Amino acid sequence: MTASKTAIERVATPMLKIQNLTKRFDTPQGSRLALDHLNLNLNPGEVYGLLGPNGAGKSTTINMICNLLQPDEGSVEIAGLPVSDATKPLVGVTPQENLVYPSLTCAENLNFFARIYGLSKQERLRRVDRCLGLVNLGDRATSPAETLSGGMRRRLSMAISLIHQPKLVILDEPTTGLDIEARYEIWELIRLLQSEGVTVLLTTHLLEEAERLCQRIGIIRQGQLLAEGSQAELRRWVKAEQIAVVETSQENHKAAAIARAQSFGYGIRHYGSDLAFWLPKTLDLRAFLDQFNGIDLVGAALHPVRLEHIYLEITRLDAGA
């Protein structure tokens, strides 16, 4: 009975557990609240996306997971252990800036960090080969990092974060600035990590990236978790089946389009300079345009509800819109 209970508890233990995490920073203008009683649980083997604008508290959270900052309140546990020097081997981090030494070869970079983690010579050789293979740089083992393309350097930086076989990998905007081919390579690596049971905490401003990769998503703003769940669960924030984005030639036509949309019971949203209508049921483009007969629409496009619409709605409501 005891062994069975222990096994159940082990399965239920989150890989990352954040409870009431609070952090304030002193500034010339006074105390600034960076994290406000943040709560997060990451399950073993999932890819979790932490989304939010710059200054939302994502970097502060990462620094506390890595034991680089101490909270004013709350706690962080990794695999059931309080964050400390003892939990550092459980975590691998790929920061926004590539963590590589340009003059060292790919293998030398990996070997250097493997030594920091205390791996034996035999284990270092094995892990260097393994990690280079994981990121498709096996043929560049003897190439100096400064000779690599931007995408290759990013993959090498990810390999460094994996050299000690961490259970939790934090990827801080891993594909920002990369071309589409390099981005796809990183995405495939993230999927591979998940298939091997690694838990991934992903921060990104590319909502398509989160949409493709993450089993659950948390949206953070001003240090608070506004919403969390699978994309299907977060979908409830948008009371629409379809999003119509329209463009009019003149301001008076825009007002007329809004009035017509309201007569049909459509929600009205402004996404930057785009005027959007929330449709309660899906329509084909011709049926939609027929509803706006007599109004000069320069352009119109129909879209499924995407994560970007959900994100904008959640943050809009938090801002009091």
Written out in words, the top-level CATH class of the domain with range 2-234 is alpha beta
For 140-194, the three-class secondary structure string (H helix, E strand, C coil) is HCCCEHHHCCHHHHHHHHHHHHHCCCCCEEEEECCCCCCCHHHHHHHHHHHHHHH
The encoded tokens of residue 78 equal 């990794």
The mean predicted confidence, pLDDT, of the chain is 93
CA distance 241 to 284: 12
What are the backbone angles phi and psi of residue 159, rounded to the nearest 5°? -60, -40
Written out in words, the top-level CATH class of the domain with range 239-304 is alpha beta
For the chain, give the longest Cα–Cα distance.
77
Which residues are CB-neighbours of 274 under 8 A, at least 6 positions away? 245, 247
Q: How high is the pLDDT of residue 317?
A: 77
What torsion, rounded to 10 degrees, do the Cα atoms 249, 253, 258, 264 define?
-110
What are the residue ranges in the chain where pLDDT is below 50? 1-10
Structure confidence by residue, pLDDT tens digits, 74-92: 999 999 999 999 999 999 9
Structure confidence by residue, pLDDT tens digits, 26-63: 888 888 999 999 999 999 999 999 999 999 999 999 99
CA distance 4 to 273: 58
Q: What is the pTM of this model?
A: 0.91
Q: Nearest-CA neighbor of 22 among 31, 30, 11, 33?
A: 33
Q: How high is the pLDDT of residue 318?
A: 63
CA distance 15 to 80: 7
CA distances from residue 214 to 49, 198, 256 in whole angstroms, order as listed: 6, 13, 40
With beta carbons less than 8 A apart as the criterion, state whether 247 and 258 touch: no
CA distance 114 to 287: 62
Report domain extents, the chain.
2-234, 239-304
Q: Nearest-CA neighbor of 272 among 206, 316, 228?
A: 316
